[in-house]
Amino acid sequence: WVVWMDNRTENPDIYLYNLIENVEWPLAAGTELDMYPDIRNDVVVWMHLEEEFDAWAIRTLDIPTVNRTQLVRGLSVPSRPSISEETLAWGDLPIAAFGWDVQKKPLYSTEAREAIPPRGDQMNPDAGGTLAVYQDNQNGDWDVYMWSGQTRKPVFSGPGDQTRPTTDGNLIVWQDNRNGNWDLYSYDPATGKVTQLTSDPSDQARPHLRDGILVWQDDREGDWDIRARDLSTGKEMEIFTGPGDQTDPRTGNDKIVWVDDRKGDKDVYMYEIYRD
């Protein structure tokens, strides 16, 4: 399955594509606002505006059973939720003066939020396994934090900004400008080891990590292209280098999808990985 947000009706909707049957399916299309989908295996989550309450909710669909569930309600603003097999993470801005707040919970359990969230802004959450990661500016610049169980702690607090973290539950990767451009770094929670993954003088940004494959957008050729690395072998792959910008890559189940404007508007493309 591939899922995306679509404005063909001049209204944000959610569409699914069945890669086996080559069939497109409008998951949430109509006059209501549905935004920012994420998918893990056969489960999709997205933001839905409940107009009667003037608030956003996070909805989910289990594709094989066509079972729809409302997981979280009463959110002030829409932002992209993140899902793993076990965890849901999301951001909200409940009180603008207090900044953005990241929350997480077991996927289908009763919702439980912290009474007093951390100070500063927490943004761009990503869920993997039982772990959530996010960026946090409570110390003045952006750092990466991990949240396991009831404990939040910094992954890296150092010079520059560390943003856009991603995790598969075992490894954490983020983009980092401590050297003046955006590079990718990783942190292994089991060993505490930090590793610089890219060092090209161009920018490597918006990483996404699933199933041992790391993807990112890369501007070493002058515009944004897609590259990937198989972390089990260390092999780096040029996924697409061509006209236009290829951005916002996502990966899972040995497939990579991205947003592509080579034809003028934004379309979704896919690449399938064949491992040795």
Residue 66 pLDDT grade (very low, low, confident, very high; cuts 50, 70, 90): confident
Alpha carbons within 13 angstroms on the beta-carbon side of residue 199 total 2
Give the architecture-level CATH label for domain 76-272. 6 Propeller (2.120)
Digit-coded pLDDT (tens) for 120-134: 899 999 999 999 999
Q: What is the mean pLDDT of residues 54-77?
A: 92
Residues 5, 258: Cα–Cα separation, whole Å: 12
Name the token pair of 209.
Answer: 């990590």
For the chain, give the mean pLDDT. 92
C-beta of residue 247 within 8 angstroms of C-beta of residue 224: yes
3-state SS, residue 153:
strand
pLDDT at residue 67 in the model = 87
C-beta of residue 145 within 8 angstroms of C-beta of residue 125: no
pLDDT at residue 160 in the model = 92
Nearest to 45 by CA among 84, 10, 12: 84
Digit-coded pLDDT (tens) for 140-184: 899 999 999 888 999 987 889 999 999 999 999 999 999 999 999
CA-based torsion, 77, 8, 247, 237: positive or negative: positive
| Most confidently modeled range among 23-32, 148-157, 242-251 | 242-251
pLDDT at residue 34 in the model = 96
Residues 111, 207: Cα–Cα separation, whole Å: 29
3-state SS, residue 96:
helix
Long-range contacts made by residues 101-110, C-beta under 8 angstroms, separation at least 24? 102/132, 102/134, 102/147, 104/132, 104/147, 105/72, 106/130, 107/43, 107/60, 107/71, 107/83, 108/69, 108/71
Name the token pair of 7.
Answer: 């404005």
Q: What is the mean pLDDT of residues 207-217?
A: 96
Q: Where are the domains of the chain?
A: 1-75, 76-272
Nearest to 189 by CA among 149, 234, 217, 159: 149
**Range 148-167 burial, b when 16+ CB lie within 10 A, else e:** beeebeebbeeebbbbbbbb
Q: What is the mean pLDDT of residues 72-95?
A: 92
Selected residue with higher pLDDT from 44 and 116: 44
Q: Which of 1-5, 28-32, 97-101 comes out lowest in average pLDDT?
A: 97-101
Residues 148, 224: Cα–Cα separation, whole Å: 33
Q: What is the mean pLDDT of residues 224-249?
A: 94
Whether the per-residue pLDDT at 119 is higher than 80: the answer is no
pLDDT at residue 115 in the model = 53
